Structure 1
Amino acid sequence: MPIYHRLGNIPHKRHTQFEKPNGGLYYEQVFGTIGFDGMSSLMYHVHRPTQVQAIAPALDVSPRLAVTNNLTMRKLIGFSLPPMDDYLESRIPLMVNKDVTIGLAAPRRSLTEYFYKNADADEMLFVHKGTGRLRTLLGTIPFEYGDYLVIPRGMIYQVEFDTEDNRLFYLESHSPIYTPKRYRNHFGQLMEHSPMHERDYKLPTDLETHDERGEFLMKIKKGNALHQLVYAYHPFDVVGWDGYNFPWGFSIHDFEPITGRVHQPPPVHQTFQTDAFVVCSFCPRLYDYHPKAIPAPYNHSNIDSDEVLYYVDGDFMSRNDIAKGHITLHPGGIPHGPHPGAYERSIGKKETQELAVMVDTFRPLMLTEAAIAIDDGKYFQSWLEPEWEEKRVE
């Protein structure tokens, strides 16, 4: 997502003296990835960003695994997870591998009593229910239903919700999250055939600059532990910054689907990429317009990836008995396709209003105890023909 952005006041030249109005210097910090080779931003602090005055015991947040070698198609009833007050405690990991954690959250309260950053992973929050503001030391991004929020690793942030009714689908990625490479030219600009463009991005605004001394609790996730550090100054003390590494948002409603005369494969829905997985957006669109087209997807083999689908809204035409907040897992190694009847009933349909987020991982996913607790237990039998219905194991 290489795009230049700046907020606040910065000096004319990098790495030069930047004087405060009442004397002294602002403190420069490079915020970058992949050593000094990846995207970075340069920020200027009122106080040194290194002043830790106390450290509390770290908390173990390792996911509790239930299935480490999965070859079962599953349906998880996501909205059955109960809401919780604390933002971090509400985040429930459901599927994990060495590259990514996939989970759900239903936080009732805003994250305002402490600050948080993930030192291991880029985060992506998909807002299914709720409105509010993502507040960071690089500015604020208002969010609403359908927004993706991409938060680079190491970004200090808080979240303010407008109500207690909030639902998030989230990812923690150990690889940086980018826009698809095939939609970018060699300068990094999104090209004309891209289903999204820079104009659609939600960039940080309203830079907060706090000059406050006190005790500011920072919870930092690193290595399956939540470390608790107390800083001497308010973390949001940046007076200005510029660069390419910062949080940003994009609405799934601004994704422009690519359609064709016959059924288009899932890569046309790709919205984000990493080295280890891709994220796709299934949005309202016209169906295929060949006179003999079958709009429902053909059966296909998941040999190289596990497919996770999070159902957001509308009638997902290839599935039976699917509701908002459901998650399906189609593991690599066995084929999957439309449910009985979906293939036939799609013929002649002109459009779909479905809305879903898909994550295809290139390594197998393990399931947590929390995932098994909301698994319906019978989804793997849902492709049986009608004459087999009476033999299904309930």
Structure 2
Amino acid sequence: MVFYVKQGVMPESRHTYEDRNKLRREELFGEESFDGPYSLLYHIHEPTRVKKFISKEIQKETLDDSPYSHRHLKTSDIPRNGTIIDGKVTILMNDRIKVQILKPEKNTMDFYRNGIYDMLLFVHNGKGKLISVLGDIEFGPRDYIYIPKGLTFRIECSKESYFLIFQSKDDITLPRRYLNLYGQIKEGSPYYTRNIRVPILQKPKDETGNYQVFVELDNNMVIEERDYNPLDVEGWDGYLYPYAINTDIMAPIVGKIHMPPPVHETFSSRSMMVGTFLPRKFDFNSKSIPISYYHNNIDVDEFLFYSSGNFMSRKGIEPGSVTLHVRGIIHGPQPGAVENAIGKEGTDEVAVMIETYDHLFLTKKGKEIEDPDYSKSWFQ
């Protein structure tokens, strides 16, 4: 839930009508049954009108069985493939979360709906448009795009587009500590309400034809064959919708000495915390060591996606690199990094972090792009 949005035409009161001869078809689109955030959508056609359902089994992600260790994955080695529907490559996962890379090789006119997971996309490269029943959102490099589970949409994007995707069975929200009692984003947070870009509702498409909606349900894809365009919404209001926010306008929090990763939190769910490391001034104590501690992640696994800039605590890192530092095994700056950090006044890095409360497992697809020597990089 972010803030209330109202677009298009609708009755004065919910679940009422204005003209019996021209009824709008009211859909309640919500999470957590009837207890979570929701929006009301007003369709021209009945949203239940489906000619045919086709069920296809999705190939299940298989886990790698190599030993438990820190890892470096080179996602730039993943080839282009498919679309948002079938091109997502899962590299890490657990029972609540999937971490994926998408490098689509084409656009599609077919629609997609994730029936199980909230989705959070980070645009590493490229630009385009999210086209949904609630409206359009244009996006570009370093945008986050939040897509709630159950939303019908498609994506048009440029040929160089490259996305990091988190899928979460638990709702992805703004961190509660950033919100006041009234739901406003508080002063001192890294972004503000006006930085959030909501979908812009387009003129409804009252069109007939052959349309497909691919609904992903864990290991099955259900294809809805429809005889009308799903983009037939005349109006909607509520608190559940996709939105985008660009990291360039965020204000990273800095301090006199090293600030811990939670101060860079951007989103949260019950199963993970999402943080963003951004260009910023370093610590202003004259004798500060502006680099992370050596540390164990006793209760979390730590994932980092390196998007751009100089990552001075890591050697061998490139744009598109992923590191996974697992709980219980110490890690931190590599040899020489602490000495090199002293006296540095800032960083130009852009990196996305998640900390997961359950262990993240490497998939066989992830194993294919692993740097096998990374776990030895602290011993020189």
Q: TM-score, normalised by structure 2?
A: 0.97
User: The residue matched to 1:333 in structure 2 has which SS?
Assistant: coil
The residue number in structure 1 matching 2:107 is: 110
In the aligned structure 1, how far is the partner of 2:34 from the partner of 2:10? 21
In the aligned structure 1, how far is the partner of 2:127 from the partner of 2:227? 31
The residue number in structure 2 matching 1:371 is: 366
The residue number in structure 1 matching 2:5 is: 5
In the aligned structure 2, how far is the partner of 1:122 from the partner of 1:200? 21
2:301–2:360 contact (8 Å) kept in structure 1: yes
1:7–1:207 contact (8 Å) kept in structure 2: no
Specify which of 281, 285, 310 is matched with residue 280 of structure 2. 285
Seq. identity, %: 37
| In the alignment, structure 1 residue 302 sits paired with structure 2 residue 297 | yes
User: The residue matched to 1:380 in structure 2 has which SS?
Assistant: helix
Which runs of structure 1 show a deviation greater than 6 angstroms over 4 or more consecutive aligned residues?
Answer: none
User: The residue matched to 1:267 in structure 2 has which SS?
Assistant: helix
Aligned amino acid, residue 2 of structure 1: V
The residue number in structure 2 matching 1:15 is: 15
2:55–2:220 contact (8 Å) kept in structure 1: no
Cα 1:19–1:338 change in 2 (3 A) is farther
| In the alignment, structure 1 residue 243 sits paired with structure 2 residue 241 | no
User: The residue matched to 1:142 in structure 2 has which SS?
Assistant: strand
In the aligned structure 2, how far is the partner of 1:226 from the partner of 1:120? 11
Aligned amino acid, residue 103 of structure 1: Q
| In the alignment, structure 1 residue 60 sits paired with structure 2 residue 55 | no
CA shift for structure 1 position 196: 0.8
Aligned amino acid, residue 110 of structure 1: N
| In the alignment, structure 1 residue 222 sits paired with structure 2 residue 217 | yes
In the aligned structure 1, how far is the partner of 2:220 from the partner of 2:338? 46
CA shift for structure 1 position 208: 4.0
Aligned amino acid, residue 111 of structure 1: T
Deviations 1:104-139 (A, max 9, x none): 011021232x11000001001111111110000000
CA shift for structure 1 position 223: 2.4
Deviations 1:74-123 (A, max 9, x none): 100101001124333321001110111001011021232x1100000100
**More displaced 10-residue stretch of structure 1: 48-57 or 92-101:** 48-57
Let me know the Cα RMSD of the aligned residues: 1.3
The residue number in structure 2 matching 1:197 is: 192
**More displaced 10-residue stretch of structure 1: 138-147 or 218-227:** 218-227
Aligned amino acid, residue 90 of structure 2: P
CA shift for structure 1 position 218: 0.9
CA shift for structure 1 position 70: 5.5
The residue number in structure 1 matching 2:79 is: 82
The residue number in structure 2 matching 1:130 is: 126
CA shift for structure 1 position 302: 0.8
In the aligned structure 2, how far is the partner of 1:298 from the partner of 1:131? 36
**More displaced 10-residue stretch of structure 1: 275-284 or 326-335:** 326-335
The residue number in structure 2 matching 1:166 is: 161
How many pairs are equivalent? 380
Aligned amino acid, residue 215 of structure 2: I
**More displaced 10-residue stretch of structure 1: 252-261 or 57-66:** 57-66
Deviations 1:150-201 (A, max 9, x none): 000000000011x311100001110111111111112111100111111110
User: The residue matched to 2:241 in structure 1 has which SS?
Assistant: coil
CA shift for structure 1 position 212: 1.6
In the aligned structure 2, how far is the partner of 1:376 from the partner of 1:357? 19
Deviations 1:254-286 (A, max 9, x none): 221110110000000000000000100000000
User: The residue matched to 1:178 in structure 2 has which SS?
Assistant: coil
Deviations 1:33-68 (A, max 9, x none): 11111100011000100011112232324212223x
